[in-house]
Amino acid sequence: MEVLETRAALRSWRAKVHGAVGFVPTMGALHEGHLSLVRQSLADNPWTIVSIFVNPRQFGPNEDYHRYPRTLETDLRLLRNLGVSAVFVPSEEEMYSLEDEVYITLTRLSRLWCGGYRLGHFDGVVLVLTKLFHLTAPTRAYFGEKDFQQLRIVEKMVEELFFPIEVVRVPTVREPDGLAMSSRNTYLSPRGRAQAVALYKTLQYIQTLVPTCPLAQDLLAEGRAYLSENYPEIKLEYLAIVDEYSLQPIEHLRQSLKLRALIAAYVEGVRLIDNIPLVVPDESS
């Protein structure tokens, strides 16, 4: 496994590999969620490259950029054991300069949900991915459904900016109790960790009500009540039922729509997100 620290080293690695290249961008502190993306890429492509870069541009001034977990040695060992071809671990200076001016903004998708609370977050994501896509020139790029809004934004930017890249969706990997794996789960105390399953439980609760309740606003009210009754210490940021493509909220659930339920909430001051596809039963059955 080659460990590449500079753009020049990455470009020369890229120039010498032929055949399909799978790319898995990450911020490190790798867990089974990340590794499932890597395994999918290894299965699909003769070459797999992973990037590990805690991207300062996607963190707000009061967010956790400085305390974000950094576990490079362990990450490299995990990737080497899986059989990854190369890892790109650039410094901040390698990716950005103080004179930089370019940002790319999505006018709708970036402003909804997480984008409304983490101002500029998705602009930072799109910027770093544009740079990384140019440098790695992958055939396929792998993204987790765990960050569903990010996934839709990546699909849209690839489509509109004509990147010749296939975006591959990978399902969310969960802990045995249902909590979506996340590098930020490590911030939680054992008590907070036990409570964090509330996000998934709320989404599941909404799913159980879908067959009897076709109105999104009623489902969301039930979901909010479930959360506050069972997990009073958790601070809800948003709970939404959206069209999977546009991420716009919907009012009436119909089987013909592809729907997602999205949630963001604070557990012990740690911001966590989750989502599930909502299945609407066949109206005729």
Which residues of this protein are in contact with ligand AMP, per CB under 6 A?
A: 26-27, 33-34, 36-37, 143-144, 146-147, 170, 172-173, 180-183
CB of 169 to ligand AMP, least distance (A): 9
Minimum CB distance to ligand AMP smaller for 51 or for 195: 51
Task: Name the token pair of 181.
Answer: 């794996």
CB of 244 to ligand AMP, least distance (A): 16
**Nearest CA to 146 among 269, 31, 280?**
31
Q: Within 10 A of 153 (CB to CB), how many other CB atoms are there?
A: 25
Residue with the closest Cβ to ligand AMP?
144
CB of 109 to ligand AMP, least distance (A): 15
Minimum CB distance to ligand AMP smaller for 144 or for 223: 144
C-alpha–C-alpha distance, residues 200 and 263, integer Å: 9
| Residue with the two structure tokens 């709708």 | 108
Minimum CB distance to ligand AMP smaller for 183 or for 195: 183
Report angle CA 233, 236, 241 to the nearest 5 degrees. Answer: 145
CB of 253 to ligand AMP, least distance (A): 25
Q: Within 10 A of 59 (CB to CB), how many other CB atoms are there?
A: 18
Minimum CB distance to ligand AMP smaller for 42 or for 257: 42
Give the active site residues. Answer: 34
Minimum CB distance to ligand AMP smaller for 85 or for 183: 183
CB of 274 to ligand AMP, least distance (A): 9
**Nearest CA to 95 among 134, 65, 122, 142?**
134
